[in-house]
Amino acid sequence: MARLTLLTSRISTWAGLESEIENLRGLLEMAQDEADEEIGREVAEETAQLKKTVDTLELETLLSGEYAENGAILAVHAGAGGTESQDWAEMLLRMYIRWAENHGYPVDVVDRSEGEEAGIKSATIEIRGPYAYGHLRGERGVHRLVRLSPYDAAHRRHTSFALVEVLPDIEEDEEGVVINTDELRIDTYRSAGAGGQHVNKTDSAVRITHLPTGIVVTCQNERSQLQNREVAMRVLTARLLERKLEERDVEQARLKGEHVAAGWGNQIRSYVLHPYNMVKDLRTGQETSNTGAVLDGDLDPFIESYLRAYPYAAEGKAQAEGKAS
């Protein structure tokens, strides 16, 4: 039903544009026949507005491919570097949460592992809403930060790395990912974070280990063990799907005679806060000196440039061509 509503809305939008174009054609003919400059100006203004709408819809056509319409599960992991990288990971987490909030996407923190002194070691969030994954799929990879360290007594410049993973949020039966419950080890434990007396005093947190692959997912955000288990199973399904797609891509690359590098080595974007301010995407060349706006969630120019430069079919190639950290 959700997909039906989405497609119906999309068709209605294009039908409405078609109707507007016909109306403008009629007005233009009237303006030409009557040499009416006022109507001509009105047609020009409405045409300009129509072009903006078409440009927006053109971007939406780039949000295609498998699972583009789905919500997203986004994980941030601090790289080597201790407190510096853990603080950077938390900055990235905040950036994506702010981006989602700015677009009206509800966000839930599925799991969060606090850093030793500051920041986070890792965190997983669920971003719900149509096309969340389509927008964010190009964000996965290594993000590099260069700044004067607030944790260095000598205030020296440091370079930090964090890894961002983006998975489609899917229903268990959507892709045919079969999970045998006999192959799962499910552990419960007390939440280590904030969340009220109920969360901290009961074994509501859930850790699920998929024995054949060794994949481990945890969830401690919800108040009940049942809710945490349901969320953890969705995350596990997404990770198993990711592995399935990666295996398919590897096989396709083998048949093509190509080797595709994957994962941690793909640095995609640099955020420089010293000695100058600049955020630059190493795949598209998109850059800005307004680092504060980007870290506050203004990612749309980078997302749009990626979608235009690398349609869904070229996504794997873009990731493979990322520069190593």
Asked whether residue 325 is assigned to any structural domain, the reply reads no
Asked whether residue 137 is assigned to any structural domain, the reply reads yes
Asked whether residue 250 is assigned to any structural domain, the reply reads yes
- Boundary residue ending a domain (10, 28, 61): 61
| CA distances for 301 relative to 43, 288, 309, angstroms | 30, 9, 12
Q: Which of 231, 75, 215 is nearest to 139 (CA)?
A: 75
Same domain, 87 and 104: yes
User: For the domain that residue 186 is a member of, what is the CATH number?
Assistant: 3.30.160.20
Same domain, 109 and 130: yes
Asked whether residue 175 is assigned to any structural domain, the reply reads no
The position carrying tokens 């964010």 is 136
Instruction: Report d(CA 219, CA 111) in Å as an integer.
Output: 5
Same domain, 274 and 135: yes
Same domain, 193 and 299: no
Same domain, 161 and 300: yes
* pLDDT at res. 256: 46
Given a contact cutoff of 8 angstroms between Cβ atoms, the answer to whether 260 and 61 are in contact is no
Classify residue 195 as exposed, middle or buried by CB count within 10 Å of its CB (0-12, 13-18, 19+).
Answer: middle
Same domain, 149 and 286: yes
Q: Which regions in the chain score pLDDT beneath 70?
A: 171-176, 192-201, 251-266, 312-325
Instruction: Report d(CA 166, CA 162) in Å as an integer.
Output: 13
Same domain, 155 and 83: yes
Asked whether residue 82 is assigned to any structural domain, the reply reads yes
Same domain, 313 and 276: yes
* pLDDT at res. 95: 98
pTM (2 d.p.)? 0.72
Asked whether residue 66 is assigned to any structural domain, the reply reads no
**267-272 and 141-148: which strand pairing?**
parallel
Residue range(s) defining the domain that contains residue 190: 181-256
* pLDDT at res. 33: 84
